[in-house]
A and B are shown apart, each in its own frame.
Chain A
Amino acid sequence: MDGLDDIVEEFLVESHENLDQLDSDLVALEQDPNSRERLSSIFRTIHTIKGTSGFLAFNRLEEVTHVGENMLSRLRDGELALTPARTSVLLQMVDTVRALLTSIEASGGEGAVEVAGVVAAITAAMDDAPAAAAIPAPRTGTPAKATAVKAPAKAPAKAAAKAPAKAAAKAPVKAAKTPARKTTARKATTPRATTTPAAPAAGPLDDAPLAVLVDELPEGANAVMPERTVEEPAAPAPAAEQTETEAPSAGGDGQARRGVADSTIRVDVDLLDELMLLVGELVLTRNQIVQNVARQTDTDLIRASQRLNLIASELQEGVMKTRMQPIDHIWSKLPRVVRDLGLQCGKNVRLEMEGRETELDKTLLEAVKDPLTHLVRNSVDHGIEAVEARRKAGKPAEGVLTLRARHESGQVVVEVADDGAGIDPAKLGAKAVQRGLVTPDALTRMSPADILQLIFLPGFSTAAAVTNVSGRGVGMDVVKTNIEAIGGTIEVESDAGVGTVCRLRIPLTLAIVPALTVECAGDRYAIPQISLQELVSLDAEKAANAVEEVGGAQVYRLRGELLPLVRLTDVLGLTSERHDGHVVIAVLRSEGRRFGLVVDRVINTEEIVVKAVGGQMKAIGLYSGATVLGDGTVALILDVQALARRALRTETTERSQEAARDAAAAAASSETDRQRMLLAAIGGGRRVAIPLDTVTRLEQVRTESVEKVGNREVVQYRGAILPMVRLDRHLGAYGETDREVLEVIVYSDHGRSVAIVVEEILDIVDGEAAVRSDIDDLGLLGSAVLGDKVTELLDVRAAILAADPAFYSAHPTAPATPTGVPASLLEV
């Protein structure tokens, strides 16, 4: 009987789905032990598995489910109360069932899985109830007996439901299956003549070819369901459980349920992948045709191409939707994980889920499953404190772990938030220093947010680090890598004592992404729109002014903020073909950092289909794939994250990593501190250097807008009044006085800002190799040779105090440790 394999396979698929549902049902039941609806749902699921396993002669499976069913039926009927012990044996039963199913899947048989222990445990758990003795034997026997009768009927029902599907292809219904069908029809209708819904449900079995292609197993399951609906009218059918949203509507009569079953369809994922591929090709061809037609004058052709454009878009959207699944598919396993882990760690954790219906592409769903589980485990294990600690901290004993998912501007945002102890940046930083991942110097300059990012460093994921540093580091680098592999990002926010939030941003789908195509050195490249913020085009004249052309570190003042520029030609080792001085900047964001990518020109935006590239291409680490453009040429897709990491290396934590490595090599020479300095002229040929990390913005202010308050100069800036200090006067130099436009360096800290006026911004240099001397003067910290000229090192603190004496005293931490700025300057 060649159909048997298929039946077993269907049975396995269905049972696995049911088991996942079972896990979350059981945990939910524990919270709300009186929910008859949950009990009924659990009972039915086990019942279904048991029925089929009997038919398929999986005796041990039947034995386990049978005793489990007994217990469940008594729980359902209120003869037993649900205790944690009973929940545990039920979960144990589920695990055994799962093990058996795994064995069946692997070997076709039940293998060596032992069931006697579980059966004994369940029996014992049943017996310890005082009520047990009072239960008349026949009552417990009833459901079991009933199923014994039903069991053979049920499985054939599936066989029968399936048979016509086969029959549609092969001609007649097989002889072997015919009796089964008869049995079903008889069983379903005769003994329960009162259950009217059974009749319409059984209907499709007879005129099967119509109904069957649509839905095989759920249909079969449903066909026998009505007889049980009568017993538990309120409960949703387990077969409909894979579509959570639809399930409630299935609670009604048989007619309504059929509607649900008929309106869904099971499709092979491979087939969907293939369709997706074809649609991708269609989109490419569409692009090509639309581009070509744009040059034509034939209105009919233009109209047709517009229609094609529209249809292809809708088709693409439709096919993409078929691959979308609610995130609940992977979330449904987590209540069990949280419960087990909570018990194990002796913690009381409540799991809350928001936005479980949020959908994303199936392949992506698979890809985020493990990282998500990892984050959840981390939160329970290290984030949420033990009950005692929580009480001491004045928190409720029960910790709350919240999963949130939502769609946000073409992305899916998934958050794993806990109200635990949070991550202490100080401890984390200390640990990082101890592990040699970052130098103490570098650490002092890092913001708490930057320090948090250290948990993603590979070196952090060792066992020792786990327990000592509140443990967030376990494999976080792997989580990050996995998320980035699918084009997503991860960020961590933490408030010590309040909790931690891990936020994943994941693209909706992998295959087709909107992208910007740009040209660089004669080639075209695609930049995924997801990282693109804006485009800036500067003509030669403007570019000459606005782009600070300085050694190694080009910056552009984008609305006053310094935007580091990266030339794509430099990164790729090519030579630009554009020599007219025109600068096109794509402003990109990656991992919370902004930078400007300078390209030759922008071509257009189009939807691209991401194609895998060979291993050698991936190894370069700058391309996330390739695509075929409208005209049939291949274009590389730039990996913005990798680009940022490579180009902004000196700016990111990798600098610290490198610095740490250097430090290890050069041992004592802690001077390998590569501080970047902004060089400014203050008149009289004097130059001062200001640590770049103290500079918030560079601005130009018209002299006429400078106002006076008392004897102090101020300027209105972004709705605030900024005190000014003229560095030339402050340092006793004499600059030009009659300038129309003042060059201003804005320095901000804790919401206060001052404007430092200089004569001219000259350059940005690495302060590393500078020769220093201690010759100092009022307002200076010393001098150094920077860029071949003697440069004075500005005492920023003094300069700021000159402008705003209250600057540091405005916030409490300031006087003792003048946050960051002077500290780092002093250490230079």
Chain B
Amino acid sequence: MTAPARTAAPATSGQLATFRLDGDLYGIEVEHVQEVLRSQQLTRVPLAPTAVAGLINLRGQVVTAIELRERLGRPPRPEGTDPVVIVVRLHGEAVSMLVDSIADVVDVDASDFEAPPDTLEGQARDLIRGAYKLHGQLLLALDVQKAVSA
């Protein structure tokens, strides 16, 4: 549905919903985004993978929340700052990601796309499809499918 294999260079043009995480700018295809919520009460799930931050009640529907910082191998969010919840819909199932803050919807062009830099390490390498070179900043294209399948 989403990203073909990395080698197939998913250099698509279109709109990305962007958000910030530990200082970096990430983007996911806007059509996957169902909604964005302010901080939600989380119910932790003992024994779940560490990236599972918990379950949230989305108007009666129980939705898993993935801590994207954990998923990307970033340090935990500083105390006292509330995450923002991005609810995405994949294969008809809603999943949510916890990020630092939400940013604009950005039009991207395939010609600006570049494969992930070789310096990228760890878990992040699997999840980031590449980068769009925006003015003065890189927009990291996140493979949302992989990111939420913790």
Contact = CB atoms under 8 A, between A and B. Distances in A.
Interface of A: 280-281, 284, 523, 572-574, 611-614, 616-617, 620, 622-623, 626-628, 632-636
A572 B56 contact: no
A616 B64 contact: yes
B55 A616 contact: no
Contacts of A620: 45, 47-48
Nearest to B52: A616
B36 interface: no
B104 interface: no
Contacts of B123: none
B103 interface: no
B62 A634 contact: yes
A636 B95 CA distance: 17
A312 to B, nearest CB: 15
B23 interface: no
Interface class of chain A by DSSP: mixed
Interface in B26-78: 41, 43-49, 52, 54-57, 60-62, 64
Contacts of A636: 43, 45, 55
B62 A572 contact: no
A66 B21 CA distance: 73
A284 B43 contact: no
Contact of B43 (A523, A614, A622): A523
A633 B41 contact: yes
A627 B57 CA distance: 9
Given A572-B47, A617-B45, A623-B45, A611 B62 contact: yes
A284 B60 contact: yes
A281 B43 contact: no
24 contacts: A280-B60, A523-B43, A523-B46, A573-B46, A574-B46, A611-B61, A611-B62, A613-B62, A614-B64, A616-B52, A616-B149, A617-B48, A620-B45, A620-B47, A626-B62, A628-B57, A628-B60, A628-B62, A632-B57, A633-B43, A634-B56, A634-B57, A636-B43, A636-B55
B95 A614 contact: yes
Nearest to B94: A614
B44 A573 contact: no
In the complex, the 9 A-B pairs of residues with the closest C-beta atoms, listed nearest first: A572-B46, A634-B43, A611-B62, A614-B64, A634-B55, A626-B62, A281-B60, A634-B57, A620-B47
A496 B52 CA distance: 51
A613 B47 CA distance: 15
A280 B61 CA distance: 11
B146 to A, nearest CB: 13
B73 to A, nearest CB: 18
A523 B55 CA distance: 12
B127 to A, nearest CB: 16
Given A614-B93, A614-B95, A616-B49, A635 B60 contact: no
A523 B43 CA distance: 8
A614 B54 CA distance: 11
B105 interface: no
Contacts of B52: 616-617
Given A616-B150, A620-B48, 15 more contacts: A611-B60, A613-B62, A614-B64, A616-B149, A617-B55, A617-B64, A620-B45, A620-B47, A622-B47, A626-B62, A633-B43, A634-B54, A634-B57, A636-B43, A636-B45
A587 B46 CA distance: 22
Contacts of B47: 572-573, 620, 622
A573 B48 CA distance: 11
Contacts of A613: 55, 62, 64
A611 B60 CA distance: 9
